[in-house]
Structure 1
Amino acid sequence: MIPQRASYRDIPLYAPPKRPCRVDLSDNTNLFGAPPSVERAFHAAVSRVPRYPKGYAPDLRQALAASLGAKPEAVTTGCGSDDVIDSALRAFLEPGDTLAFQDPTFVMVPLFAKVNGLRPVPVPLTSRHDVDADALLATGAKVLYLCSPNNPTGTALSRAAVERVVDGASGIVIIDEAYAEFARGRDFLDLARTRPNVLVTRTFSKAFGLAGLRVGWGLGSPELVAEVEKARGPYKVSSVAEAVACEVLTKDGEWVRARAEDAVACRERLRSELTSLGLSPLPSEANFLMVPLPGALTVAEQMRERDVNVRAFASLTGVGDALRIGVGPWPLMEAALAALRESLR
């Protein structure tokens, strides 16, 4: 018999219901295509494949630092921003420690807590989908996790509530900004620059269109980042992924901004169509809409039968059953709306 950790035995694989569909709106990735620089950078990096990548992605750290007006020592990278988050948890928490986070939020966070032997403490969002700063601080957790715009709700946290958390935290505050490029409000990168206990994480998987290459990054004080770097290991970003990410970051900024604007326009057009069906999507600053809908799991399965995949959630705190519908070019949205109309009948 294979020995197992008691706290680990019942953890399931991350495998949301999915099947190959002609229209897949379940992952919130960039459905407008890959950035122009990808193919050129990819082919130029092929010669590096037989060798290990440079340890700790120095070229990407330098490129990100230049784009942020920061020092490379203030930037960490990883295999997606979820890897940066996981590394931070390992760096700052001992097994048995508490990890507190807003609820609902990114489904991998409670999973990371269990895998790392931590005690997950979800704290419900307020009725306005903002973080309950006092309740989160009352947990006394050494690490607090925030997500804005929030996955899966799409809602943004208020500046006042986030600053209240950062000011009152006894340890590290992780602010996940995977969807920041789609948001119209102010981001929280300034807190990572000015507060020693803040790590802001971002990704190349959403607006930048590089989900298949798995590249994420974080910004924080050099002292904080040094601990995360120790936890991540030297080769989390492949040489090809690093080269492509550097090229897209430095050459394709205008393309990324334009595609993000396209996604926001499609999101608001989709909101109007959903409202005309009698539905009430939540306010969103991301590239998706969350649509409260009783029986959402059944509706999603019926949509998959019509070749459209969306993400369904059951009994979300403060929301109930809901569909999360990613946005992309309008023909995909038309297909999704047709499948949804048929499923609702």
Structure 2
Amino acid sequence: MIPSRASFRDIPLYSPSKTPCRVDLGDNTNLFGVAPAAERVLRESAPALLSRYPRGYAPDLRGALAARVGVAPEAVTTGCGSDDVLDSALRAFLEPGEVLAFHVPTFVMMPLFARVNGLRVRQVPPREDFDLDAEALLATEAKVLYLCSPNNPTGTVLSRAAVERVVERAPGLVIIDEAYADFARGPDFMDLARTRPNVLVTRTFSKAWGLAGMRVGWGVGAPALVAELEKARGPYKLTTLAEAMAVAVLEEGSDWVAARAALAVENRERLRAELVALGLSPLPSEGNFLLVPLPGAVQVAERMRERDVNVRAFQALPGVGDALRIGSGPWPLLETALVALRESLR
């Protein structure tokens, strides 16, 4: 066997428990289905497209996204999911051995991306209210700072004051991951990507937009920043079909997406009330999920899977402890999950 990098050998595969279940609330994807505009593209696509490479760097999608957020196409990047955009940004702006810093708990892939890219990590514990400790993050002096709002897995949002403080004083790039922005009631941080040279805001079509299986992510930043990121990304990260479906949903399906996102939020709060009635205390959430602190969450999740319901279990999250993350979707699915949870808690 040819040995891998010494720092690479003990990196685990990303492998959350995925026992097939009839009700799967573990991934926070859009459980209401696929936008009609995307279905139409799938139905009408010519098979001959499959034998040709897609157009390099997804120009149609970049143009559609640029029009939506009010920037030039040169300020938009795309990728195979927003995690691809994040990974590409680390490769573009950090040399091996340099430091990536982020608040914890946060997106579980960030420490993995850091290790794969040979980076060092500085983790900043949360404040009691789960807002960003701006001074502690800046004190790391990391060249790249990663923020997530609404945060995964907590669902909490970062304050405008804390984020602006970080952006103003950061020594390098500030990445703001807004994968769940479509569910949040407050303002987002996209304006910072439009106006600050050191900010990259990333988003995804995998959550509210219903295209998780097509793997489409995107980001917005200064054109000079995006030009460097595009080098790390590579030319063919989006398939022809994925790009066409994303453009169609953007241009024809925004109302469909907004309506389902609103319903996910409505059902999330209905779920919260039921969990509180069970004596549980879900964290405040602006995502399409709830994080529920619960000792022995891993065992509870396993008992739920035995009842054909999948939720995501976490152990020893900083500031939280053990917890279940339960995605929101159509109410019948959440009702089934509640029955399984009640039985599993017994």
TM-score by length of 2: 0.99
1:100-139 matches, within 5 Å, as 100-139=101-140
- Name the aligned partner's letter for residue 12 of structure 1: P
* 1:206 maps onto 2:176 in alignment: no
Q: Trace 1:173-252 onto structure 2 (pairs within 5 A).
A: 173-252=174-253
Q: Which amino acid aligns with 1:42?
A: L
Rounded Cα–Cα distance in structure 2 between residues aligned with 1:288 and 1:251: 26
User: CA–CA distance in 1 between the matches of 2:244 and 2:185?
Assistant: 29
Work out the percentage of aligned pairs sharing the same amino acid. Answer: 74
1:178-213 CA distances to partner (integer Å, 9 max, x unpaired)? 000000001000000010000000000000000000
SS of the counterpart of 2:158? coil
> Which letter maps to 1:14?
Y
2:22 — aligned with what? 22
Report the Cα distance in structure 1 between the residues aligned to 2:270 and 2:97, rounded to whole angstroms: 46
So what's the TM-score if we normalise by structure 1?
0.99
- Asked whether the 8 Å contact 1:199–1:218 carries over to 2, the reply is yes
Q: Name the counterpart of 1:93.
A: 94
Does 1:292 pair with 2:300? no
Letter in 2 for 1:95: P
Give the whole-Å Cα distance in 1 for the aligned partners of 2:186 and 2:97: 37
Compute the RMSD of aligned alpha carbons. 0.6
Aligned partner of residue 201 in structure 2, secondary structure: strand
Deviation at 1:121, TM superposition (A): 1.3
Partner of 2:6: 6
Q: Give the paired residue count.
A: 345
SS, match of residue 49 in structure 1: helix
Stretches of structure 2 lacking an aligned partner (at least 5 in a row): none
Q: Bigger shift: 243-252 or 41-50?
A: 41-50
For 2:27, give the aligned amino acid. Answer: D
The answer to whether the Cα contact below 8 Å between 1:45 and 1:243 also exists between their aligned partners in 2 is no
Equivalent residue for 1:140? 141
| Letter matched to residue 121 of structure 1 | R
| In the alignment, structure 1 residue 343 sits paired with structure 2 residue 316 | no
Contact 1:45 1:239 in 2 (8 A): no
Structure 1 residue 45: deviation in Å?
Answer: 3.1
Amino acid at match of 2:339: A
Secondary structure of 1:38 counterpart: helix
Segments of 4+ in structure 1 off by > 4 A?
none
Q: Give the match for residue 314 of structure 1.
A: 315
Q: Give secondary structure in 2 for the equivalent of 1:121.
A: strand
Gapped regions of structure 1 (runs ≥ 5): none
Is the Cα contact below 8 Å between 1:28 and 1:326 reproduced in 2?
Answer: yes
